[in-house]
Structure 1
Amino acid sequence: MALYIPDPDIPAADLIDDLGRVLAERYMNAEDALLREVAVRAYRDIELQAKLNRAIASGSDRVSGLRYALDRNRQLAELDGHRAQALRDLQVLARTTADQLRAENLAEGVISAATTQGEAEAAARLSMARRLPARTTLNGSATQATAATQLSLQSSLEVLNQRITRLPQDAFKRVVAMNSSNVLLGVQTKLQAQYANVQQFLSEGVGGFTDRGGRNWRIGTYAEMAGRTTVARAFNDAGVWRMQQSGINLVTVQGSLSSCAKCAPWVGLILSTDGTTGTVILPHATQDAEVTVTIAGTLDGARNAGCFHPNCSHKVSAYLPGLSIPQAGFEYDPKAEWARTRQREIEVDIRAAKRKQATAGDPVTAQRAKAKVRAKQAQLREHLDLTGRKRNSAREQLAFADGR
């Protein structure tokens, strides 16, 4: 990744979305490239099977005799050789792709950017206070505070890298299995139907894996989730580290109107990072006075209760007594959460229709998929007009991650 220059004015949610999209696009592009290679070999396999099926069908004519047997054996050998070579080629491509992804050090780049931005934003906020409990010369950075987060992301991405090394071979074997019984039974199937099976399979893509909770993830979807989650954690941890260096152990949670039921109760509350709770009296951040502050809980307690969950973009900022104004009057709005969730669902549908259009094997199928794209885009516009939410066109592109 390119050198990241922090900008305290960039909203944290935008940073989290952008860095999550970096990972999603990189892994989804890798998956798409491998699936295209699978498609080339899969269609070749169908053609060879069609030749063999025709040979089997013509075998009913006993006049062909020995020539039929020789042709059939030759075509079987050609089909077997093609499949063996295809698997070898796909294995090499998969290993090369996984090695390239590892060499890019995506986890290091993404977490470094989040850490730098979180520390910069905290420093900018602290600069507004003339009186701080402690002033220290910062000899280090927040890198140590976010080291565990980087390792967590590296571990998650390595799971994807290992899945990628198996993806094309597994996909090719599944395509072969769709039609192999036709050859073994000597049944003449329609070539168009076989192509349709392959196109449907490739348009849906290959599931990355199933997590412990039983949820199925596409490779790009999981990369985005892991990226967003760890970026948010690194951003917050870096900011907290910088605050603590200046003696600030209080933060306040900031969130959006579409916050989920787990996060909404914590928005606007004052939390401590050192375990302090209850009502305390603290020095004013800018005046020679004291301020009474009610600390609702701890940051760890909020996390344990479900706030800052996977894919969450909520952030914490330094609470400066007498100066900071926490978000007030915030209540959970199920309609706002539904509006956000429904927008994501329609975006998924748009990408699915675009993928079918891209893998269509004939003009009629492509035209139907194109019409579906337009219909879903119209549905999205209607939803945005109804709810007042903003459109994020990047999430409608094929380069973005598929999956619900």
Structure 2
Amino acid sequence: MAQTQQQQESLPSTVSATAAAVTVVFVAGEQEVLTGSAAIIRAAINDPAQVPGLYARLWELSQGVSRRILSRVRTLSTGAVQVASRNGDVTAVREIQALQRSTERFIASPVSRIPSHHVQSSAAIANDLTASLAGAAQRITRFANDAYRAATVNGALVGINPARDIIRDATARATLVDAQAQAWRELTSRGITGFTDSAGRQWNLSSYVEMAVRTATQRAYNASHKARMEAAGITLFTPSTTGRPCKLCAPWEGKVLSDQGEADVVQDGHRFRISATVEQAMAAGLFHPNCEHTLTAFFPGVTVLRTTEWTDRDEQAFKDTQRQRTLERAIRGAKQAQAAALTDLDRARAARRVRELQARMRNHLAATGLNRRSRREQLDLGNK
């Protein structure tokens, strides 16, 4: 007799942990560049004789960090993708075994027991991730230009305009040093920027790397998982139910996907509908950047489909979550500005900003019932 089989959940914690381990390498490099550049600029402010060599020292710092990270990119990318591929493969084997136990109608093909179904796909994904991370590492070198402009050209231009001192709550004419500190504060609160994905979205360094690694590991996991399942003779799939869908993913939860495309099917006395191919679902938004969905086998009469209807309440919950993420980024930005402040006054100003944002976070969580993710507010994303 067939037993019902629930859909698997989101990406395993080991895959997320692997993505975090790669991200922290770039986050640490970013902090080294930000705080190191601040020290160089502070020295030049205190000793004008160092100004002529300012750009060279900033360039040397950012170039050294970039070069050190670049030397690790290939190893980091390959390791992360291989872990994700192995996880997908192992999960598929367990799912196949569970399906065999659930119904006598399914007998896995012997081909599914042959190892290394994931090798080719994972190599291609690792190459793509290597290229993305190498570009991110190289972008670090451009921070020398941004830092120099913030400390000199931009600062001089801003210096002729009034500036508001939020510590004394008074309006006063800015000195050049004040203007430089303001330009620097704005730069460091954003972190290293200049990253654009294929959809035109803008990212800073840590967010871009985290997105790129999570997306690549998700691809590797799903490709390995799907290859093993297909080798077993499984051709019907459905997305996992993560419990945290967005409006792009929600329409696909509880839907059946197959390479044959949209169709009404009767199989072993069970009627169901194939909604699309996996590729069509992806084109419509499934497996978007940072998505946690995976594919799982659908076997008629055994698999229980769990559909998700996107409601106004879901929309509000999604907006609340996005607001939390915005506040997390803002808190990290204020902490970055505090760590890389050029003056004691600017350090105090940034510390005040951190406290204000943390208060906003507490109020937001109290109003929405969301759980605080303190690690996401840390400069290292809590990945040390």
Asked if Structure 1 and Structure 2 have the same fold, meaning a TM-score greater than 0.5 normalized by the shorter chain, the answer is yes
Whichever of the two has the greater Rg, that structure is 1
Distance 1:394 1:360 in 2: 22
Structure 2 counterparts to residues 44-123 of structure 1, below 5 A: 44-49=43-48, 79-80=51-52, 82-83=53-54, 85-86=56-57, 89-90=60-61, 92-102=63-73, 105-123=75-93
Letter aligned with residue 29 of structure 1: A
TM superposition shift of 1:220: 1.2
Find the counterpart in structure 1 of residue 304 from structure 2.
325
Structure 2 counterparts to residues 177-326 of structure 1, below 5 A: 177-179=153-155, 189-211=175-197, 213-272=199-258, 274-283=259-268, 290-326=269-305
- Whether 2:124 is the aligned partner of 1:141: answer no
Letter aligned with residue 96 of structure 1: R
Q: Which among 321, 327, 340 is matched to residue 340 of structure 1?
A: 321
- Whether 2:129 is the aligned partner of 1:153: answer yes
Contact map agreement 1:39 1:202 (CA 8 A) in 2: no
Find the counterpart in structure 1 of residue 21 from structure 2.
22
- Whether 2:325 is the aligned partner of 1:355: answer no
Q: Which runs of 5+ in 2 are unaligned?
A: 1-7, 101-105, 160-173
**Identical pairs, percent:** 30
The number of aligned residues is 354
Q: Which runs of 5+ in 1 are unaligned?
A: 1-8, 50-74, 284-289
Contact map agreement 1:98 1:164 (CA 8 A) in 2: no
Contact map agreement 1:276 1:295 (CA 8 A) in 2: yes
Moved more, 173-182 or 227-236: 173-182
Contact map agreement 1:13 1:313 (CA 8 A) in 2: no
Q: Please, what TM-score do these two structures have when normalized by structure 2?
A: 0.80
Distance 1:297 1:214 in 2: 26
Distance 1:10 1:139 in 2: 24
Distance 2:141 2:342 in 1: 27
Three-state SS of the structure 2 residue aligned to 1:296 is strand
Moved more, 108-117 or 91-100: 91-100
Distance 1:10 1:302 in 2: 18
Q: Please, what TM-score do these two structures have when normalized by structure 1?
A: 0.77
TM superposition shift of 1:21: 2.8
Distance 2:261 2:158 in 1: 70
Contact map agreement 2:287 2:293 (CA 8 A) in 1: yes
Contact map agreement 1:243 1:318 (CA 8 A) in 2: yes
Q: Which among 359, 373, 391 is matched to residue 354 of structure 2?
A: 373
Deviations 1:79-101, CA, capped at 9 Å, x for gaps = 43x23642563365245324333
Contact map agreement 1:35 1:168 (CA 8 A) in 2: no
Q: 1:203 to 1:139 in 2, by over 3 A?
A: closer
Distance 2:238 2:300 in 1: 11
- Whether 2:154 is the aligned partner of 1:175: answer no
Letter aligned with residue 73 of structure 2: R
Contact map agreement 2:10 2:240 (CA 8 A) in 1: no
Moved more, 207-216 or 341-350: 207-216
Letter aligned with residue 25 of structure 2: R
TM superposition shift of 1:254: 2.0
Distance 1:209 1:331 in 2: 31
Three-state SS of the structure 2 residue aligned to 1:317 is strand
